Amino acid sequence: MSGQLKVRLLDQPDAPRTAHPVHLKPLATLCSDCRVSGLCLPTGLPIHDESCLGALIGPRMRIRKGSALFNANDPLTTLYAVRCGSFKTSLNTAEGQGVVINFWMPGNVLGLDAIATEHHVCDAIALEDSEVCPVPYRRLQALARNFPVLQQSLNRLMSREIVREHERVLMLCNLTAEQRLASFLVGLSRRFVSRGYSAHGFLLRMSREDMASYLGLRLETVCRSVARLRALGILNLQGRRVEILDMPALMALEQGGGECEHKAP
């Protein structure tokens, strides 16, 4: 399986943006100097003990915008922790329909849904040039046997993913298009905050189509909902630049609120 993660460890030398001189030794991936380790697998490990995970995690991989980190039916060999950049995963049927299952940001761990069958269920596509830390699943299991906190951390990640999906189902069943959009943006905002970024201004990395798929809508409906929230003075969203002008209103919408009283101009 070592053949698996060959290319793009360092990628073509013609990296377009980061044309800095290249480190001579492929960077050992240290959780301790990773900005998002607190959200990731090592959460709760003693001072992010490198003796533990350090030995495990392979050299980080660069994934180009638009290319696949893995595809459905690929055998599960490694989980992937996002170090920087972002991804979408999507579940596709034979008939060509599909849905975006989730968007993934630094600190998120991809591939947990493949543990049951040992084969990936989703396609994972980079939404921008990104880097991931590969975590060989077998070795993670072995290591977790000796580090109960690590096992616990893994359990929690999986459980949280189940809860996340519960909430998504709730959204799909109970919320209108505008409420879904509000919920989505508030969710993104929270995720940015927990990574140290602004709650009110950020950049979407996914297309309207992807947003629509995630929200169980058509892209036209997403556009219209954006337009309506903009008209209400809650948002300033053009193209992929988001500015949240009235966070309380947005959060009220998200909570099935905003259906009772008619909007006053």
Partner DNA sequence: CGCGTGTTTGAGCTGAGTCAATCCGCGTGG
Partner DNA sequence: CCACGCGGATTGACTCAGCTCAAACACGCG
Binding site for DNA (CB under 7 A): 176-178, 207-209, 216-224, 226-227, 237-240
Closest CB 56 distance from a copy of itself, rounded Å = 17
Among 166, 190, 240, 241, binds a copy of itself (CB under 8 A): 166
Q: Indicate which of DNA, a copy of itself, none lies near residue 68 (CB less than 5 to 8 Å, by partner kind).
A: none
Which segments within 128-189 are labelled E, that is strand?
130-136
User: Within a 10 A sphere around the Cβ of 216, how many other Cβ atoms?
Assistant: 17
Strand, coil or helix: 200:
coil
DSSP letter assigned to residue 45: S
Q: Indicate which of a copy of itself, DNA, none lies near residue 221 (CB less than 5 to 8 Å, by partner kind).
A: DNA
Give the binding-site size for a copy of itself (rule: CB under 8 A): 46
Q: Which residue in 209, 228, 227, 210 sits closest to 219, CA to CA?
A: 209
Residue 248 is a binding residue for a copy of itself (CB under 8 A): no
Q: Residue 164: what residue type?
A: R
Residues 63/12, Cβ–Cβ less than 8 Å: no
Residue 32 is a binding residue for a copy of itself (CB under 8 A): no
Q: How far apart are CA 133 and CA 61, in angstroms?
A: 6
Closest CB 197 distance from DNA, rounded Å = 20
Among 81, 154, 185, 211, binds a copy of itself (CB under 8 A): 154
Residues 1/77, Cβ–Cβ less than 8 Å: yes
Residue with tokens 């006053």: 264
Which parts of this chain interact with a copy of itself (CB under 8 A)?
Answer: 91, 93-95, 97-99, 101, 112-117, 121-122, 141, 144-145, 148, 151-152, 154-163, 165-170, 172-174, 213, 216, 255-257
